[in-house]
């Protein structure tokens, strides 16, 4: 009897990050497209990824919306120590809060951050299309495959064989989400997901963005990414991977700004 192996893996974020030493990820490819030297320094551990409070809010939202409240409560702490003189929580910049946070053994959310995440999650759940897309599937599914002659890995926010790939994004203003997607390379990111996944299931899956605002009125929007745009982004990714292979062969890592540029527009 033939055994069917599910290509979608479930593993911790730490395991996925450790495997990124061996496999190319969408974020690494984005670093390379921006600056080969930045990519190289990050691979050597000379530059660490920045971790801002906004990034924590995004990670928590993904956990709460995609993996559920039980996982959220297991992986994050909320609140802080109480000042016995006032009966109020110590501020997040105080020594007492820092000591309490260090004792939790996991990332800590202030009450303000927790309230923000809850309201954002409510915004996602209140959108009919978003709720339907996320009603059934696998959260944080990992796939590894060879793509463009490179070992690659992806970690999809959400995947369902009948609906496709869903990428959950946060934004300041939903009116500008499409501009943000272009600025931050979101299409290249999900095109990488689609292409790597197709190596193991031999099928191009539809791709959707679910975007939620980080402030009132916490609007949520859903976009399906047109396949023509995904195809264009995949060509850009493939060209970038080919440049990456040449850099690896020659051990030459430039910034992309070595030549003279002409400033000819106001």
Res 91 pLDDT > 90: no
Mean pLDDT within 61-90: 92
Of 22-31, 45-54, 160-169, the poorest mean pLDDT is in 45-54
If one counts every other C-beta atom within 10 angstroms of the C-beta of residue 85, the result is 6
Mean pLDDT within 228-237: 98
**pLDDT band at 88; cut points 50, 70, 90:** confident
Q: What is the distance between the alpha carbons of residues 141 and 11, in angstroms, rounded to a whole number?
A: 8
Res 2 pLDDT > 60: no
Mean pLDDT within 13-27: 95
């Amino acid at each position: 009897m033939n055994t069917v192996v599910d290509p979608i893996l479930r593993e911790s974020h730490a395991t996925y990050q450790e495997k990124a030493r061996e496999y190319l990820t969408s974020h690494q490819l984005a670093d390379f497209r921006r600056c080969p030297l930045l990519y190289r320094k990050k691979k050597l551990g000379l530059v660490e990824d920045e971790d801002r409070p906004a990034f924590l809010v995004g990670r928590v939202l993904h956990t709460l919306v995609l993996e559920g409240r039980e996982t959220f409560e297991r992986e994050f702490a909320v609140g802080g120590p109480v000042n016995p003189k006032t009966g109020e929580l110590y501020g997040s910049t105080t020594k007492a809060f820092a000591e309490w946070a260090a004792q939790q053994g996991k990332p800590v959310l202030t009450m303000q951050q927790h309230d923000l995440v809850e309201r954002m999650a409510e915004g996602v759940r209140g959108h009919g299309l978003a709720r339907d897309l996320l009603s059934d599937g696998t959260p944080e599914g990992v796939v590894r495959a060879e793509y463009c002659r490179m070992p690659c890995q992806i970690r999809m926010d959400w995947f369902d064989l009948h609906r496709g790939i869903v990428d959950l994004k946060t934004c300041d203003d939903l009116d500008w989400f499409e501009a943000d997607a272009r600025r931050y390379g979101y299409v290249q990111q999900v095109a990488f997901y689609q292409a790597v996944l197709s190596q193991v299931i031999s099928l191009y899956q539809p791709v959707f963005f679910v975007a939620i605002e980080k402030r009132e009125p916490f609007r949520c929007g859903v976009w399906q990414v047109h396949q023509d745009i995904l195809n264009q982004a995949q060509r850009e990714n493939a060209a970038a991977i080919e440049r990456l292979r040449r850099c690896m062969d020659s051990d030459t890592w430039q910034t992309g700004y070595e030549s003279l540029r002409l400033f000819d527009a106001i």
